[in-house]
Every structure is written in C-alpha cells, then in structure tokens.
Amino acid sequence: MTDDERGVDQVEPTELWQAVLRTAVDPIIVIDQDGVVLTANEATERLFGYTTDDLIGRNVSALMPEPYRSAHDGYLDRYLTTGEARIIGIGREVEARRADGTVFPIALAVSEIAWNGRSWFTGIIHDLSERQMVEAQLVAAKEGLEERVRQRTAELEASMTELARSNRDLEQFAYIASHDLQAPLRNVRQGLELIDEHLQETFGHGFDPETTELRDLTVAAVERMEQMIDGLLSYSRLDRSQRPAEGTVDLRELADQVVRQMSLDFTEVDARVELSELPTVPGDELQIRQLLQNLLENAYKYHDHDQPLEISLQATETDDGMWLISIGDNGIGIDPDQRERVFELFRRAHPGYDGVGLGLAICKRIVERHGGDIWVETGQNGGSVFSFTIPRSDDG
C-alpha cells in the first residue's frame, strides 16, 4: 500500500494528532504546572459534563472530590521541587467528580511534558464506574451465595439434630415396646396351658384333636412373636450412642469356635468350611461373635439342597486402613434387587424359610458401630458373598 493509498500525505501530522486527541474514547486533559487546564478533549466533556471552554483556565482540582481536591496543588508543588511522584509516570485508581457533583472511580495515568524549563502534564482518564458496578454485583452475589450456604447448613444441622432426636425416640420406643410385650406374650402361652389343664380337670381330657391343632398354631405364632421381640431387643441394645466394648478380637479363633458350635448342622449338609488366615482386630468380642454367627447360620440356612455346602472365610487389607472380611457360600443366593434391602429390619428375601428377618440388620448395626460397612454380592458359583470392613487399628 502506498502513502497515497493510505491518504497520510493529505493530512498534516499536527492536525492528525489533534484529531486523535479530540476523538479519543478516554478523556484527555492537559494542565500546566500550576494545575490550570490548558485543553481537554470531547470525551472529557461527555464524562464530566463541562464544556472544554468551561474547563480551560480552571484548576483541574475542580474535577476531583475531597480529599484529592485540597491535596492536589501541594502534590504538584512537591513533585516539581522534590521529584517525588505518586501518580505522574505511574498511574493510579482515584476518584473524580462530575459537574453535577457525583463522584465516580477512574484510572488516571499522568505523563509529563518538560520543555524549556517548564512542565506540562497530560492526564488520560479511564472511567471505572462500570467495572466497579460489576465488582459490587459480584461481591453482592458472593455474599448472597454465602448467606444461602449458611442458611442451608443451618437447616441441615437442624434437621440432623431432629433426625438424631427422632432416632433416639424410635430406639427408646423399640426397646420399651419389645421389652413390655414380652410379659403379655408369656401370659398368652401360659393361658393356653392353663386352659388345657382346666379342661383336663373339668372334663377328664384336654383339647380335642381339632382344638389341639388350633392351640399349636397359636403357640407357633406366639413363638414367632417371641423370636421377633428377642431380635428387636438385641437390636435396640446395640444402641449406636454407646461405643462397643474395647478390646481385640482374634477373628480366626472366633470363627473356629462358631464353626465348632455349628458342627452338627454342618455335618448334616456335608459342609466344607474353609477358613483362611484371619487377623486380630480391635472390637467387641460378643458383638463380633454374633456377627460371624449370624452370617454362618445364614450360609447354613440358605444352602442349596442339591449340592454340598461350601463356605469360605477370607481377609484382605484395603488401602484405607481397613480389613475386608468376606464370607462366601454356594447357596441359593439373593436377587440383585434385594441385596440392599436384606439389611433392613424384618426384610426377608426367602419367606419360605424359618426366621424373622433381623439377623442381617443386627450384623449391619454391629459393623457400623465398629466403623465399617457391610454388603452382599453374588458369588462366582451363584451363592452369596457377604463382605464387611473393620478398621485395622482403633484409630483407623
């Protein structure tokens, strides 16, 4: 491109510079060393609401609010005598004042023109009002957000306290109800025996075969209810607020004992129990015994009649300081959609079998009270693998 095409030879450099200054987007003001305005551009008029004619000859401090206004002359003097610069050649964020008195933030960059022993100063001003507004909105949004987080946290804490309270009430209720239900149930059972005796004494015979059957059904129902109540009582005794008794438990020895206790059952189904090396863990011996017992009794109860029962007990270390204990069987297994629910109170996946559905709820509570977790998966042979974690040390 030639100079001709650019058009630069049609314009005087001075005129070009004047046009640049006049049309610059940011206000530009030139003052002398007394602070008197020599000239200003159109952007200055727009931003400050003065005409250039108004400004020329006035002290530039008219465009500043206090305390900048009073300090300005002193500042210029100090600079001219000591050379100490606070804005000149540096630039700073300060406040400015419009003709209508409103104050707003600006970025001010001042440069010096030294000529023939005198100085002039050029100030280029950038309006920061919009940036300040956006910053204020951001701060307000942040504060609003923090307030909401505070509120939500408070609500959450309140509902957790409420939940803990209603849990305690429920525990208390379960305990009292199951405890108090024991006596009337005993009365029902004794009542049936007394009726039988009474019939013997009065008529010389007890229940006839038909009523005997009804009595037996009633006794079976009473026994089932007794089992449920016993289970509920053990469950509520494992109150979460009390820590398990402190001690260490040799899992291998405990598992050996439980297996020995169940040897008759196991022999009956031709069971093979494989115990690998098991660790000693911190915990409450009675509770851990109950845990192993419930899991091994279930493996026996839910075995597959078509094949000899195989049970294996294994332990592995996890990366987060726990032992992972797994008890696998080759029994009838559990439907995937029932796997989580079988740990709930009274939840049963195979209703045709004896039981009241509390064993696994008790296991879960024991494991959680020891700081671990329990779950069940399907084994490779279609049976169940119950796994639980337990910390390797007290502080684990």
Segment contacting ligand ADP (CB under 6 A): 94-102, 133-141, 175-183, 324-332?
324-332
The least CB distance from residue 271 to ligand ADP, in Å, is: 13
DSSP secondary structure string for all residues of 136-167: HHHHHHHHHHHHHHHHHHHHHHHHHHHHHHHH
User: What are the b/e assignments for 27-46, b being 16+ CB within 10 Å?
Assistant: bbbbbeeebebebbbbbbbe
Segment contacting ligand ADP (CB under 6 A): 31-39, 118-126, 254-262, 298-306?
298-306
Q: Which residues within the stretch 325-384 sit at the binding site for ligand ADP (CB under 6 A)?
A: 329, 331-334, 342, 347-350, 355-361, 384
Give 64 or 366: the residue with its C-beta nearer to ligand ADP.
366
Give 61 or 330: the residue with its C-beta nearer to ligand ADP.
330
Give 252 or 339: the residue with its C-beta nearer to ligand ADP.
339
For residues 27 and 39, the answer to whether their CB atoms sit within 8 Å is no
Compute the half-sphere exposure of residue 71: CA atoms within 13 Å on the CB side of its CA. Answer: 10
The alpha carbon of residue 119 and the mean position of all alpha carbons in its chain are separated, in whole angstroms, by 64
The least CB distance from residue 344 to ligand ADP, in Å, is: 9
The least CB distance from residue 379 to ligand ADP, in Å, is: 10
Decide: is 299 part of the binding site for ligand ADP (CB under 6 A): yes
DSSP secondary structure string for all residues of 257-295: HHHHHTHHHHHHTT-EEEE----EEES-HHHHHHHHHHH
Q: Binding-site residue total for ligand ADP (CB under 6 A)?
A: 22
Give 48 or 300: the residue with its C-beta nearer to ligand ADP.
300
Rounded distance between C-alpha atoms, residue 385 and residue 220, angstroms:
32
For residues 270 and 295, the answer to whether their CB atoms sit within 8 Å is no
Give 31 or 309: the residue with its C-beta nearer to ligand ADP.
309
**Cα dihedral 261, 265, 268, 273 sign:** negative
The least CB distance from residue 365 to ligand ADP, in Å, is: 11
CA distances (Å), 146 to each of 44, 133, 139, 140, 151, in order? 40, 20, 10, 10, 9
Give 56 or 345: the residue with its C-beta nearer to ligand ADP.
345
Q: How many CB atoms lie within 10 A of CB 343?
A: 19
Rounded distance between C-alpha atoms, residue 341 and residue 284, angstroms:
26
Decide: is 313 part of the binding site for ligand ADP (CB under 6 A): no
Give 97 or 369: the residue with its C-beta nearer to ligand ADP.
369
CA dihedral 215, 216, 218, 224 (to 10 degrees): 160
The least CB distance from residue 221 to ligand ADP, in Å, is: 16
Sheet with 37-40: strands ordered across: 37-40, 28-32, 118-127, 103-115, 92-97
The least CB distance from residue 206 to ligand ADP, in Å, is: 33
Give 48 or 343: the residue with its C-beta nearer to ligand ADP.
343
DSSP state, residue 125: E
The least CB distance from residue 303 to ligand ADP, in Å, is: 8
The least CB distance from residue 358 to ligand ADP, in Å, is: 6
- Tell me which of 302, 330, 367, 372 binds ligand ADP, using CB under 6 A: 302
Single-letter residue type at 315: A
Decide: is 271 part of the binding site for ligand ADP (CB under 6 A): no
Give 119 or 378: the residue with its C-beta nearer to ligand ADP.
378
For residue 217, give every residue at least 6 positions away whose Cβ sits within 8 Å of its Cβ, in sequence order, or none: none
The least CB distance from residue 315 to ligand ADP, in Å, is: 18
Instruction: Give the binding site for ligand ADP (CB under 6 A).
Output: 294, 298-299, 302, 329, 331-334, 342, 347-350, 355-361, 384
